């Protein structure tokens, strides 16, 4: 047993050294991705930079997997145990990397580099999978459907937040676009000739607002108006909005969606406008984390000086396409804390914090903790 312990400690020490030896490049990668935010499926520069970095560390690169130009699989090692590290790198419209995907990408890159150096000792194959379009495009779901995760035995990633936690409430979600078509008319001279598409959308929003009183605690609906007319003296012929419908599970989501759809239809019925509903991405599922792998990660992160006591005692609520991966492959999606000065994800202040000294530490800690977790996982699978 002491020999096994010493072997594990030696591998972990070497992996940590590999991360810190590459710290300058990993942090430069994080800052460069942050400075050049790219939206879903448009992350050409980010994906190329990550793939190039991994290639220079001995990974073979398969770019454009699943027909997605900004997706890739980087592979090192040839062992029977296949461990995937997922990299996200898309930004949010308007506020850039306010979800910290630059940190996620650099953590994944660092973990991959560390594991590639010990892959033969661990008898593993390590895959860093570049997954575009987490922010609404469902990139990982498309990769799943095209078999990119086939043969993977474990998958992991870390996601920045305002504190470290593994206690997350991951909701199933559908992303939809609602469009109404009415009839233009002069709003003053001939208003009776118009069919107001913007009114239809307003009625739908009011209906959803009233319905919220009767929703289950985890049910959520939120959206924005993306088109509401062109001039105040023209009755709007077209109106459009994008909405996210969330629920605790896929089954709950299937119950909630028809209720929300009736609200959209109410707008069409009341005004006479035509309604169309389009799904903008595959449906995200609820997350089922692997308990044993999560325990390994928690112990490793704590060893690096991190604490898992949420400041308000409440889980973070989110949705992610990593949840769909967890239904096929044992997976974890812990949150790694950065000091955002009280800001939280999807705020401009959080975006600014994602290139702070605290975020830089999270890149190195996240990479190291994931590499260590993969080492523990390998040792446990090999019965040592």
pLDDT digits (tens, 9 = 90+) for 98-112: 999 999 999 999 999
Q: Is the dihedral of CA 382, 366, 56, 23 positive or negative?
A: negative
Q: At what angle do helices 44-55 and 101-122 cross, to 10 degrees?
A: 20
| Measured distance CA(253)–CA(228) in Å, rounded | 28
The mean pLDDT value for 168-191 works out to: 97
Segment 188-209, tens digit of pLDDT: 999 999 999 999 999 999 999 9
Q: Which string of DSSP letters, residue by residue, matches 46-108?
A: HHHHHHHHHHTTT-EEEESGGG-TT-EEEEEE--SEEEEEEE----BTTTBSTT-HHHHHHHH
Note the pLDDT of residue 5.
76
Is the confidence at residue 374, as pLDDT, over 80?
A: yes
Task: Judge residue 1's burial from the number of C-beta atoms within 10 Å of its C-beta, 0-12 exposed, 13-18 middle, 19 or more buried.
Answer: exposed
- Confidence band of 309 (pLDDT split at 50, 70, 90): confident
Average per-residue pLDDT in the chain? 96
Q: How many other C-beta atoms lie within 10 A of the C-beta of residue 68?
A: 22
C-alpha angle 85-86-88 in degrees, rounded to nearest 5: 145
Strand segments (E) across 220-349: 220-227, 238-247, 274-279, 316-318, 331-332, 335-337
CA dist., res. 374 & res. 368, Å (int): 10
Count CB-CB contacts under 10 A for residue 84.
27
Dist CA 250 CA 256 (whole Å)? 10
Q: In whole angstroms, how large is the CA radius of gyration of the chain?
A: 23
Copy the structure tokens of residue 46: 């980010």
Least confident of 3-17, 128-142, 242-256, 335-349: 3-17
In degrees to the nearest 10, what's the CA dihedral of 55, 58, 63, 66? -140
Residue 60, class by beta-carbon neighbours within 10 Å (0-12 exposed, 13-18 middle, 19+ buried)?
Answer: exposed
Task: Give the confidence band of 332 by pLDDT, cuts at 50, 70, 90.
Answer: very high
Q: Over pLDDT 70: what percentage of the chain? A: 97
Strand partners, 178: 241, 277
- Phi-psi category of 158—alpha, beta or left, where left has phi over 0 and alpha has psi -120 to 50? beta
Could you give phi then psi for residue 234, rounded to 5 degrees? -125, 125
List of domains in the chain: 2-168+286-381 (3.40.630.10), 172-279 (3.30.70.360)
Please, what is the Cα angle at 125 between 320 and 298, to 5 degrees?
Answer: 50
Across residues 34-38, what is the average pLDDT? 98
Q: Given the DSSP bridges, would you call strands 238-247 and 172-181 parallel, antiparallel or unpaired?
A: antiparallel
pLDDT of residue 165: 95
Which pLDDT belongs to residue 1?
Answer: 43
Query: pLDDT at residue 121 above 70?
Result: yes
pLDDT in tens, 214-238: 999 999 999 999 999 999 999 999 9
pLDDT of residue 382: 67
In the predicted structure, residue 380 carries a pLDDT above the cut 90: no
Strand intervals (E) in the chain: 60-63, 72-77, 81-87, 124-130, 154-156, 159-161, 168-170, 172-181, 220-227, 238-247, 274-279, 316-318, 331-332, 335-337
| First-to-last C-alpha distance (Å) of the chain | 8
What's the order of all strands across the beta sheet hosting 238-247?
220-227, 238-247, 172-181, 274-279
Say how far apart CA 23 and CA 357 lie, in whole Å: 13
What pLDDT shows up at residue 164?
Answer: 96
């Amino acid at each position: 047993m002491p020999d096994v312990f010493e072997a594990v400690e030696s591998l972990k020490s070497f992996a940590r050294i590999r991360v810190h030896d590459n710290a300058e490049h990993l942090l430069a990668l994080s800052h460069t991705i942050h400075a050049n935010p790219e939206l879903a499926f448009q992350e050409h520069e980010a994906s190329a930079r990550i793939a190039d970095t991994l290639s220079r560390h001995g990974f073979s690169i398969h770019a454009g997997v699943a027909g997605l130009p900004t997706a890739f699989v980087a592979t090192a090692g040839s062992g029977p145990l296949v461990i995937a590290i997922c990299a996200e790198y898309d930004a949010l419209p308007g506020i850039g990397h306010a979800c910290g995907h630059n940190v996620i990408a650099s953590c994944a890159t660092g973990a991959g580099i560390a594991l590639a150096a010990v892959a033969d000792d661990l008898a593993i194959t390590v895959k860093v999978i570049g997954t575009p379009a987490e922010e609404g495009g469902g990139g990982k779901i498309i990769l799943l459907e095209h078999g990119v995760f086939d043969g993977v035995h474990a998958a992991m990633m870390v996601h920045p937040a305002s504190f470290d936690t593994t206690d997350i409430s991951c909701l199933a979600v559908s992303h939809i676009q609602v469009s109404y078509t009415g009839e233009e008319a002069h709003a003053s001279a001939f208003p009776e000739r118009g069919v107001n598409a913007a009114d239809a959308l307003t009625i739908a929003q009011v209906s959803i607002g009233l319905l919220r009183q009767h929703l289950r605690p985890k049910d959520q609906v939120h959206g924005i108006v993306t088109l509401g007319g062109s001039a105040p003296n023209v009755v709007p012929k077209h109106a459009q909005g994008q909405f996210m419908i969330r629920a605790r599970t896929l089954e709950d989501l299937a119950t909630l969606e028809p209720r929300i759809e009736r609200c959209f239809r109410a707008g069409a019925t009341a005004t006479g406008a035509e309604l169309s509903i389009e799904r903008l991405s595959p449906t995200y599922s609820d997350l089922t984390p692997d308990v044993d792998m999560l325990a390994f990660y928690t112990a490793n992160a704590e060893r690096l000086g991190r604490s898992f006591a949420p400041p308000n005692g409440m889980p973070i609520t989110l949705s992610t396409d990593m949840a769909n991966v967890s239904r096929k492959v044992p997976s974890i999606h812990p949150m790694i804390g950065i000091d955002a000065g009280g800001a939280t994800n999807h705020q401009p202040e959080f975006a600014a914090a994602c290139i702070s000294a605290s975020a830089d530490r999270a890149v190195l800690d996240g990479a190291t903790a994931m590499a260590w977790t993969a080492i523990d996982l390998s040792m446990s699978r090999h019965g040592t």
